Chain A
Amino acid sequence: MDFLRPASWEEALAAKAEHPTAVPIAGGTDVMVEINFDHRRPEYLLDLNRIGDLYEWEVGDDSVRLGASVPYSRIMENLRSELPGLALASHTVASPQIRNRGGVGGNLGTASPAGDAHPALLAAGAEVEAASVRGTRLIPIDDFYTGVKRNALAPDELIRAVHVKKADGPQQYSKVGTRNAMVIAVCAFGLALHPDTRSVRTGIGSAAPTPVRAKVAEDFLDAALEEGGFWDNGKIITPSVAKQFADLCSAACNPIDDVRGTASYRRHAVGVMARRTLTWTWESYRGARRHTEGAA
């Protein structure tokens, strides 16, 4: 095993180009477990800890460019208003110690369906900034997950950052685990209201071979909200609409039975989380509307 310690992003890209099998290691929260338990013996470890740029974020007009290694604890603390869904998701990651080390880049690189960030990224809308010595490209999050623990990165590419759309409305995130802390998702659900485009986006974790959006459910809800004039009148979403949305979210799952839970439970739980997060976000949207109207 060789340990590569690039001091700059350019050096890292050059190393990755020279050794495409090199395994990037940043927070180490996935890679080191595999090494400690003898599940993996990469020829090269590519340490990204010395590349300071990866630990920075920039808040732009429309989106946040979030460095791949910004620890979850920093996201929780600093990006609660810009990226509320991702901040909530970050808070559910493992333990304080892990949140101090792990970042979104690792979640994306591993591309486990159980990664906590994925549903929030899917719901918010995001692009993954992938780079290689050949250049930089932005991969829409919807195209990023290609299979179980597979992603759209080329062998010579590294994740530089993720560009996440700034919240234009309430976002929520829920995750089910069989413990009240430090747990890998049995399943997870992210939901974002986008009042600017009058649309709703979702993300489902651990309930299909890859993280997925419940697109049929989104389309249904978009149409129902439009039809009922909900975005304008701010009425409570009718229980039948919420239930239909929840059922469609369940239907978007393609889960398996494993030691963490049954497929049947996962479908059920995603539905419950969909209904609850819709209720929470919509209540919040209505509250904000009332507040705005009151101010006006």
Chain B
Amino acid sequence: MPSPKLSTSLDQGGAPTGAPTKITQGSQTKGGIGESTLRPDGILKVTGEFAYSSDMWHEDMLWGQILRSTVAHAEIVSLDTSEALATPGVYAVMTYDDLPTEVKNYGLEIQDTPVLAHGKVRHHGEPVAIVAADHPETARRAAAKIKVEYRELPVITDEASATAPDAILVHENRDDHHIGHVPHPNVVHRQPIVRGDADRAAGRADVIVKGEYTFGMQDQAFLGPESGLAVPEEDGGVHLYIATQWLHSDLRQIAPVLGLPENKVRMTLAGVGGAFGGREDLSMQIHACLLALRTGKPVKIVYNRFESFFGHVHRHPAKLYYEHGATRDGKLTHVRCRIVLDGGAYASASPAVVGNASSLGIGPYVVDDVDIEAIALYTNNPPCGAMRGFGAVQACFAYEAQMDKVAKELGLDPVEFRRRNAMEQGTLLPTGQPVDSPAPVAELLRRVSAMPLPPERQWESSEGADVRQLPGGLSNTTHGEGVVRGIGYAVGIKNVGFSEGFDDYSTARVRMEVIAGEAVATVHTAMAEVGQGGVTVHAQIARTELGVAQVTIHPADTQVGSAGSTSASRQTYVTGGAVKNACELVREKVLETGRRRFGTYHPAWATAELLLEGGKVVTDGGEVLADLVDVLGEEAVEVEAEWRHRPTEPFDLRTGQGNGHVQYSFAAHRAVVEVDTELGLVKVIELACAQDVGKALNPLSVVGQIQGGTTQGLGVAVMEEIIVDPKTAKVRNPSFTDYLIPTILDTPTIPVDVLELADDHAPYGLRGIGEAPTLSSTPAVLAAIRNATGLELNRTPVRPEHLTGTA
């Protein structure tokens, strides 16, 4: 119902509690790039003051609740909201029929996802109706009173059921741009990559090794659940405070559904409690806005952990079929592979995941004859999309298992075999694209294998076994019995940035002015800080480029141009590049002002290369020409500019050839595990990593990213999997009780060796770093477990039953 108090409540309320404010960072120290400066939001985060999206609060706000389907695939026969609407305290109940415009779907690339189900649900937990009420419990009780009658349909759950000739179509009447080249309408996208002649090359092989691999469905499991607050505005628009990875991508999908122009949907980034790909797609954004506009009141939606498992896409589970050939002297002859990704009910990022899985499908190795195919399916399983590593993770698990198998077949050391085939600068990818920056694959393997090994039997103490250091931990399952150590290696390649011809740019607005007698820079971007430390790096870049001590980071919002997504390891590269670029433009303007004001006082203004350092204009020889405070005076210099990395091209749909990527990131791991071989329990003792980062803008953050990514890879090696019932396509473990992520007792020491080989094409020579460590961590742990047990282990995660023959 419309609220008569709308304007007053907004007037009184103003910005909601928790609305982000500017963060200022700066001091006497230089704090430029290359230093481990501390997070500008650190104090707020340790005092509990930092406002996450779930912390937003507004006078008079309502709580939104989503009713989700209890079955995976069904027609909705009837939907009755009357009882829910009649519940005291309920302000609105909305279904598909209440959507305000003709735009009723959204999606990152293909708009196939209904805002609310229309006559049909395609996966377990699909949104069917939304409720706004004065208390979350009122909203929950009301949602429970909505009567939905389903007529269940057969479920599509795998490749066989999806591509059967009479298979029921997950999406009828597809008209997206992939339908023309897929073998079946239940295939979202198919990308073959063919180079050389794998058949002929196979004839040269002394050994041929085949393998079939299964990769389980991993969840991002960010700790801050999906949440946000939508506040209706007096101009009929709405202001959304939201945790996301890409404000402008959200905006582009939200505004048409609301029937509002984009400038009437204001978006401000609220604090983000982790993302890892899980916030690339929309979750509660449109629902909160719809309810706010319908009720005229601010509406907050916060998922609990159960709902979060249904509220975002997951990492694609995959089946991977590989054939590797090699000669006796340890050279790969060819690779054939087929990667089948389960995209679930909606497309999300599936097409791009297919592009990555195929183009990076053989790993960081030199192979001239390849035959690769990757597809993503439409099924009735949970939708899958972006997660850290994005297609490259699944492939790395399989090709690294294959590399170990081939090495074993040849009687070669697994590291040595990899070294003989390691990619280097100039190597052609299967797409025919040359790798045009350092590719220190062999060096990373050398480094990681040269690290000292952790001592044996660390659990032994004078008082007996310390179970905390044994497989099983506090559960007291072994005092050393059955425990065998194993060591494994893996290396991977991840592309950085958006590939395949995507116009991947970012925007930065940089302002420089004198405040309280000091030159201060303000950096305003729409970059989503999700924990990665982009805000730290932006301040460092501004200091380096503008010579100021104080840098203010403006809250990220849509009042500035798009920064692109905080994903694909791209933000330090692309938004960092945009900030650097904008700073350079500001610097030019400042120098122009300086020349105008002071040029006549010193010839160097006209002749020398000038820099801004320590709050002053200096020559490259170090001579001080002027104080920035004097140059700027009362004037503020501000520039907003877009910045792009080098363009890429789409892959040929038939051959997969094309310069599709812009940069790569390489990491290698050595895992040391101890396995209780009788109980099938694993303790990872150490997970050493070596990674090339190009240039570490903030070494402390770089190491933190590598350790975090490594741990997510460990998780999917030994415990993390969303289990979907193949008969019903329903999720069986949507909770932190049964979807397990590593605790501090599961996580080993993670020594990190950081290599800095500049990529001359990138700002400061840097490389995107966030994803690469997630790739090689999983296969390294699996290799170590194989080494300890002698088992083949063709799936991940590996659970106790797989190690004990009791699956």
Contact = CB atoms under 8 A, between A and B. Distances in A.
Given A178-B740, A179-B740, A36 B304 contact: yes
Contacts of A267: 806
B78 interface: no
B683 A180 contact: yes
Given A180-B746, A276-B481, A265 B304 contact: no
A262 B807 contact: yes
B681 A262 contact: no
B737 A273 contact: no
B732 A259 contact: yes
Contact of A175 (B476, B680, B744, B807): B476
B413 interface: no
A151 B428 CA distance: 68
A176 B806 contact: no
A146 to B, nearest CB: 24
Given A91-B474, A92-B476, A276-B481, A265 B680 contact: yes
A178 B745 contact: no
Given A88-B476, A92-B475, A259-B732, A265 B738 contact: no
**Which one of A172, A175, A265, A273 has the greatest number of beta carbons of chain B within 10 Å?**
A265
Contacts of B306: 37
Contacts of A273: 477, 679
B95 interface: no
A184 interface: yes
B801 interface: yes
Contact of A181 (B474, B479, B799): B474
Given A259-B732, A262-B801, A176 B475 contact: yes
B555 interface: no
A261 interface: yes
Given A265-B806, A272-B678, A178 B737 contact: no
Interface string B713-745: 000001100010000000011010110101111
Nearest to A273: B477
Contact of A280 (B475, B479, B801): B479
Nearest to A277: B476
B806 A262 contact: yes
A31 to B, nearest CB: 15
A184 B801 CA distance: 16
Nearest to B802: A265
A178 B742 CA distance: 10
B473 interface: yes
**Which one of A38, A176, A180, A186 has the greatest number of beta carbons of chain B within 10 Å?**
A180
B745 A276 contact: no
Contacts of A177: 472, 475
A184 B737 contact: yes
Given A259-B738, A261-B801, A276 B743 contact: no
A115 to B, nearest CB: 14
Interface string B464-495: 00001001111111110110000000000000
Contacts of A40: none
A183 B799 CA distance: 14
**Which one of B471, B476, B718, B737 has the greatest number of beta carbons of chain A within 10 Å?**
B476
Given A37-B306, A259-B732, A183 B806 contact: no
Interface string A162-194: 000000000011111111111110100000000
A107 to B, nearest CB: 16
A176 B476 contact: no
Interface in B732-766: 732-733, 735, 737-738, 740, 742-746
A186 B800 contact: yes
Given A91-B474, A262-B807, A268-B804, A178 B743 contact: no
Contact of A261 (B304, B740, B800): B800
A173 B746 contact: no
B140 interface: yes
Contacts of B482: 272
Contacts of B745: 179-181
Interface in B763-803: 799-801
B476 A181 contact: no
Contacts of A268: 804, 806
B472 A180 contact: yes
Contacts of B744: 181
Nearest to A36: B304
Interface string A88-114: 100110000000000000000000000
Nearest to B801: A265
Contacts of B733: 259
A38 B475 contact: no
Contact of B679 (A179, A183, A269): A269
Nearest to B733: A259
Given A37-B306, A259-B732, A261-B801, A183 B477 contact: no
A254 to B, nearest CB: 16
A37 B308 CA distance: 12
B473 to A, nearest CB: 3
Contacts of A91: 474, 476
A267 B806 CA distance: 9
Contacts of B468: 180
A175 B740 CA distance: 16
B802 to A, nearest CB: 9
**Which one of A173, A176, A178 has the greatest number of beta carbons of chain B within 10 Å?**
A178
Contacts of B473: 179-181
Report the 9 A-B pairs with minimum CB-CB distance, sorted nearest first.
A180-B473, A265-B806, A181-B745, A265-B801, A264-B806, A175-B475, A180-B745, A259-B733, A181-B743
8 contacts: A37-B735, A91-B476, A176-B679, A184-B737, A259-B733, A264-B801, A269-B800, A279-B481
Interface of A: 36-38, 88, 91-92, 172-184, 186, 259-262, 264-265, 267-269, 272-273, 276, 279-280
Given A259-B733, A260-B738, 19 more contacts: A37-B304, A88-B476, A172-B476, A174-B475, A174-B476, A174-B477, A175-B477, A178-B800, A179-B746, A180-B475, A181-B474, A261-B799, A262-B806, A264-B801, A265-B800, A268-B804, A269-B679, A272-B679, A276-B477
